[in-house]
Amino acid sequence: MDYNCCLANRSLINKLPGQKTAPRMISHILCSLTAITGFCFLFSTHLIYQARLFAIAPHQKGKVQEEPVLSVQNKQAQHFDWALNKLDSSVRRTGRITRTLLLRIFHDMCRTGYPSSNQALLLLRSCGSLLPEVPLCERTELAHMIWGKLQDLGAVYDASHYNALLKVYLQNEHKFSPTEFLSKMEEANVQPNRVTYQRLIAAYCNEGDIEGASKILGFMKMKELPITEAVFSSLVTGHARTGDMENAENIFSVMRDAGIEPGPDTYLALLNAYAEKGDINSVKQILEKIEKMEGYLMDRDLLQVIYSLAKAGYPQYVPDILSQMRYERGYIPDAMNLSLNLITQGLEDTAFQVFKSFPTLPSENHSETSMDYGNFFLQHCVHMDKPLSKLKQFCDELKEANMHSSPLQFTLYCALESKKAALAINLMKTMKEEGLPLRPHYSWPLLVGYQKEKNVQGTIGVLKAMHELGVEPDVETYTNYVLTNFDDIQTFRALLQVSLNEQFFIYCYVMAQFCSCSLCRILIESISVILVECFLLFFSTEAVGYFLYNLIDSMSDSEVQAKEEHLRQYFHQLKKMNVVIPTNIYRGIRNLLAAYHVPELIKNTEVSALEEELEKLKAEKQPIGNVLKQLIVALCAEENMQKALEVKAKYEPDMVVGGYAALINLCCRHDNVEDAMNLKEEVFRKDSSVALDTNKYLALVKVLGKHGRLEDAINILKEIKEKDIPIKDTTVTSFFHILNAAAMRGEVETVNRLHESILTLGLAKPSTNLCTPLITVHLEKDDVPSALEATIDCYKKYGKMPRLHDILCRLIEQGNTELLQKAMDFVSQERGEMMMLYDIFFAFLNTGKYKEAKKIIETPGLRARPGSLQWFAEKCIATNQMETLENMVEMTQKLFECDRDEMYYYLLKLCKISNDWRKAEATWTKMQEENVIPRARTLRLLADTLKNNGQEVPFDVPEVIYVNALYMPLQCNVTSQLFFFILIVEAYNILLEAQKKDIMFPASAYSTLIKALLAEGCLEEALKVKNIAETHIKGFTLNDAASSLLIITQVRRDYLKDAISTLKKVLESDMVPMSLAVIRLIQALAMKGDLESICTVEKMVENLATSIGLSRMLFVNNTVLAHIKKPATDLFLQYVDAGRVDDARFLLQVIIYQERNSSTLLDLVPDFPDMKIVYSYLLKCHALDNDVVSAKTLFEKMKSENIHTDEIFLKRLAVLLKNAGEPVPFTEPPESFHFYVNKLTQERQEISSHAE
């Protein structure tokens, strides 16, 4: 059938520009709507699971991860995401992970101390085929090393870890005993699951041990576990490896008998089996067969066949398979992966063939060369110590094929970079033979290495070799790389800088996260009431109103009643905060509360009191306008239209605009269009310049529209424009509701004309939302063709395509292939083929046409669009469409760049909502089968669902740290302190409550709260929280920041002894206090004159002082201050005696400034070794005081004592004298004062550097 080849050849990336395959394809799919053809691979999708290289969940950009970074424990979660991201981006960019990266992440995890179970899973998972550059046995060793180390550090292993380890064994072709493995699991009290058995069967089968496999199969049957395609695939391999191809082929019919249609995995197993036998004809036949059956293997599968051929020693057949590649998206990283793997396993010639097959060869280093291909290949060959002759052969081929401009130089670069001196020297020899220039600096990377190791032999060896090559080292080689030592402090400083940048990065990250709404969603899931403050912080009071309305609306009766007190307090707080909720929202909330039987939450205004007052005023003939208005408003609030109208009629002459406005609004609400319009005309007769507010106009438009008075409604819109009534976001929302209401009534003309007026008057900009009613009105009448027309029209006019999904679904349901084709052509043309494919995919899914949906999503070249997938998933969740969602999750398994964890997260979300723990558990097993590393939030969701249903949670649940998310505003220096404070109080209360119920938070939450309380100066509360934490969490210690804040607060409260002991604890637990805390403490001690304590503290922080940026002067300075606070001034002499001249000098300066009393000073320091300095400071002091007389006396004294006066002294004195109008009795130094200061500083530096 034409249909088949169309599907088989469809591909987005193979397409030539302008070529359109999609419409044709769609039409074929549409055919299948009516005539459903057999599609070999479209069997129950539950059964397709394939080990994937890319199953590490990619991190979504711009998406929130709920874990902010606030403390060590929190860093764990943050680190997980970071590591995941890092590994994933590595996989995506290059198709692999490097050992260095893996180890770096591993060591980082070890350093943070508490590896979580998903971190462990992430690392284990990476020890298999993702490390193509590492030899097979080393990969397994790596996995074992990680397994052991993390276990020692307290990682808890569950079935998913054992399964991951099994996968690694399989990928690394590691030989092991499945029975021992099972007994190890048993010892660890971990139950094997379906995936475990499947992989054990695979292990037996790889060894050709059918008997062993049957034994496991027996277990599975006993436990009534489903036998999936994966098991049959393994059996194919198993039989083949015993040499029994007949039985291998027989498995296919066994499968069919069992009701399972063989899928790509099974065919791949058979292909590999023939490949291992070198039976290329059978391989080709099977491939043809698959093609005929409309199925197709992915390039990735074919690459595996190549691997089998190469490993079994049949490289000659590799080109046959290479010619079958489709070059799907992701081909290059996959092929690179294979190529590297082959190099690692000593099959570099095949690797080179694979590399040369790359369709558009990637340039890896744009900055260096734009045309060089194969760098990765050469680099890995160097790393794998391939012989020089091989390297030269590859270089020659690359050069000849014009794929690389300078392969030898690049190879040399790799050798130098990896410090392979012998290879580098040999490469240079080759280069010399080829007439390529050799330069002295080629030796530098090698010399740098030896320099660091202080390896003199190595250095000399390189120099000799270079000499033999005729390259003499230049001056730079000697000065920089041979003769010098490197400076340790610089390295250290560089490190320090990195950590600062990281902090800044984290800060920005936290800010960015908080500002995104996704975080708010997380908050809703946790403690929603507090969200209001957050809203208020970042949005408007209106948002708070809507939020409250929605919040109350979403709560059940009993919940509202239960939380009545909470809400009351809450309203009270809002009132105190001067938050005014807009009246209409207030009314809505009130109605809701009334419906919940808690009306007393909002007090009634007193109508009767106002009536009495009105009567009284009337009787006293006093102006009643104001009270009348209040009464009308009060009646309106009570929704008493009848009475309000009566009151108005009675006191009409005294009516003011405000009263009319309220009344008009009331009539509109009560659908009383006549009175509303009459009132409006009435008030305008009184004053034509009067303008109502936006909401009242909108109410009029709404009611007029409803009563078919379209022209009047349009006139109101015009008036809004003419009177320049402010349009807010909510106004636009109201427009939508007005239009939507008309659409629901099926009034096409009303919708169209109102919409047109709104837009032509410029009251709103065209938006999807506002356009939606234009389509809704047709869909309501089930007029799908008109709806499609309307949406196309909408797109032409406004660039929006509202409700396309609904239209597509309806068309599919109606089987209207012609119109569906039209719609798809339109979408494809306007928004691109990718969007069209997603649109039709979702429509098929939604209408239960799963086979068709599957075909669409398998379109080669299609890649994941996280936004679209999320939209659909959330739609499914909101409408409780489990089956649809499940299908989507399964179908997207092989979708390029699909975030698998995210997909399963959606599924688990729905499981939680529908409280389906069985499905949740099955989902977890599926995740293991697919090798997906769950993020912490996914595991928590799963654990919650299981726990809620009284089920045991078979894994270590990551800590709940949402509380931290809550405190994030504390980190952001945003707006009002008050809100922070409320948040803190709220959090404090929550914590106390939680404690009563024995609910525990992670340590980080306590630290954060303590920090927040301290920041607000709530010492007692903070200490209470600290106590709670200490009694509940073993080994709880405040983190650095919280401790520092505690010190500061204690200092502020003048609890200096406590502060010192806190500092002591901090230092004892190897934490680093903030410099500010130490500074405050020292300052406070100085003010008390507590020299001893300053001394103690100085000793305590001695080792840290430089690293946290504490100046030594802090101590000197404050010691001085302490002395000043005390009568004794003997410190100076102590310094002098101890030879601490610098300290003495500084002290002197301080004393002089403080005391400004030269005589005492001079008495104090009669024997100071360098009186010149004393005099300089004295002069400075006199200059500051403008004390010319003293300065002159000092100058005379110095002359008499024959003390040399330096340029600074003379300059200062000259300036002082000149300013005082006195003559200068010496030659004034010509340059500026600063010139001499700089000069002196330089001199001092030179002296000190010489001294060093």
By the criterion CB under 8 A, which residues form the site for other proteins? 367-370, 405-406, 409, 413, 416-417, 437, 439-442, 444-449, 474, 476, 480-481, 486
The string of DSSP codes covering 733-757 is: HHHHHHHHHHHHTT-HHHHHHHHHH
Q: Output 383 or 1212, the one with its CB closest to other proteins.
A: 383
State the minimum distance, in angstroms, from the CB of residue 37 to other proteins. Answer: 56
SS3 78: helix
290 and 268 in contact (C-beta within 8 Å)?
no
Provide the b/e sequence for 204-237 (b: ≥16 CB within 10 Å).
bbbbbbbebbeebbeebeeeebebbbbbbbbbbb
Residue in the structure block whose two tokens are 């009308």: 632
Of 399 and 707, the one with the shorter C-beta distance to other proteins is 399
- Least distance to other proteins from the beta carbon of 1242, Å? 11
Indicate the residue among 481 and 736 with the shorter CB distance to other proteins: 481
- Neighbouring CB atoms inside 10 A of 157's CB total 21
Residue 308 or 443: the one with the smaller Cβ distance to other proteins is: 443
Q: Nearest distance from residue 368's CB to other proteins, in Å?
A: 6
**Beta carbon nearer to other proteins, 440 or 785:** 440
With tokens 């007949």, the residue in question is 246
- Of 316 and 365, CB closest to other proteins: 365
Our CB check for other proteins shows the closer of 365 and 1106 to be 365
Please check whether residue 1073 is in contact with residue 1067, taking contact to mean a CB–CB distance below 8 angstroms. Answer: yes
Q: Between residues 446 and 1116, which has the closer beta carbon with respect to other proteins? A: 446
CA 76 to chain centre: 14
- Report the C-alpha gap between 361 and 373 in whole angstroms: 6
The CB-of-386 to other proteins minimum distance in angstroms stands at 21
Assign 306 to helix, strand or coil.
helix
- Give backbone dihedrals phi and psi of 1102, rounded to 5 degrees, phi first: -45, -50
Say whether 959 sits in a helix, a strand or coil.
coil
Given a contact cutoff of 8 angstroms between Cβ atoms, the answer to whether 279 and 249 are in contact is no
Q: Closer to other proteins at the Cβ: 443 or 1050?
A: 443
Distance of closest approach, residue 202 Cβ to other proteins, in angstroms: 44
Contacts 24+ apart (CB under 8 A), 1138-1141: 1141/1169, 1141/1170
Which residue type is seen at 1241?
A: T
User: Least distance in Å: CB of 406 to other proteins?
Assistant: 7
d(CA 227, CA 49): 12
CB of 410 vs other proteins, minimal distance in Å:
9
Closer residue to other proteins in complex, CB, 438/741: 438
Q: How far, in Å, CA of 289 to CA of 229, rounded?
A: 19
**Tell me, what DSSP letter sits at residue 540?**
-
What is the residue type of 240? A
Smallest separation, CB 336 to other proteins (Å): 23
Closest approach, Cβ 325 to other proteins, in A, equals: 32
Complex with other proteins: residue 405 or 769, whichever CB lies closer: 405
Q: Which helix (H) or strand (E) holds 110?
A: helix 99-112
DSSP result, 857-888: HT-TT-B--HHHHHHHHHHHHHTT-HHHHHHH
Q: Which is nearer to other proteins, 473 or 802 (CB)?
A: 473
CB 634 within 8 A of CB 608: no
306 or 408: whose CB is closer to other proteins? 408
Q: Which of 359, 360, 389, 395 is nearest to 377 (CA)?
A: 395
Phi, psi angle pair for 940, to nearest 5°: -65, -45
- Kindly state the smallest distance separating residue 1046's Cβ from other proteins, in Å: 40
Least Å distance between CB 375 and other proteins?
12
Please identify, using beta-carbon distances, which residue of 451 and 730 lies nearer to other proteins.
451
Minimum Å gap between C-beta 166 and other proteins is: 40
Q: How far is CA 64 from CA 134, 307, 513, 1179, in A?
A: 34, 39, 6, 62
- Amino acid identity at 1239: K
Between residues 481 and 1177, which has the closer beta carbon with respect to other proteins? 481
Report the chain's terminal Cα–Cα distance, integer Å: 88
CB of 444 to other proteins, least distance (A): 4
Q: Which residue has the tokens 């006293």?
A: 620
Nearby residues of 252 by Cβ (< 8 Å), 6 or more positions away? 236, 262, 266, 270
One-letter amino acid for residue 83 of the chain: A
Amino acid at 792: I
CB 445 to other proteins: min, Å: 3
Minimum Å gap between C-beta 147 and other proteins is 33
With respect to other proteins, which residue has the nearer C-beta, 369 or 715?
369
Q: Which is nearer to other proteins, 1203 or 1237 (CB)?
A: 1237
Q: For residue 956, which amino acid is it? A: D
Q: Please, is 670 exposed, middle or buried when counting C-beta atoms within 10 Å of its C-beta (0-12, 13-18, 19+)?
A: middle
Instruction: Yes or no: say if 1076 and 1048 are a contact pair by the CB < 8 Å rule.
Output: yes
Residues pairing with 896 in the sheet:
863
Contact 193, 155 (CB under 8 A): no
CB of 449 to other proteins, least distance (A): 8
Instruction: Give the C-alpha separation, 1239 to 400, whole Å.
Output: 64
Residue 455 Cβ vs other proteins, minimum distance, rounded to whole Å: 14
Nearer to other proteins (CB atom), residue 367 or residue 1227: 367
Minimum distance, C-beta of residue 440 to other proteins, in the bound complex (Å): 7
229: which 2 tokens?
């395609």
Q: Where are the alpha helices (DSSP H) in 67-98?
A: 72-94
Residue 896 DSSP SS3: strand
Radius of gyration for the chain, computed over Cα atoms and rounded to the nearest angstrom: 40
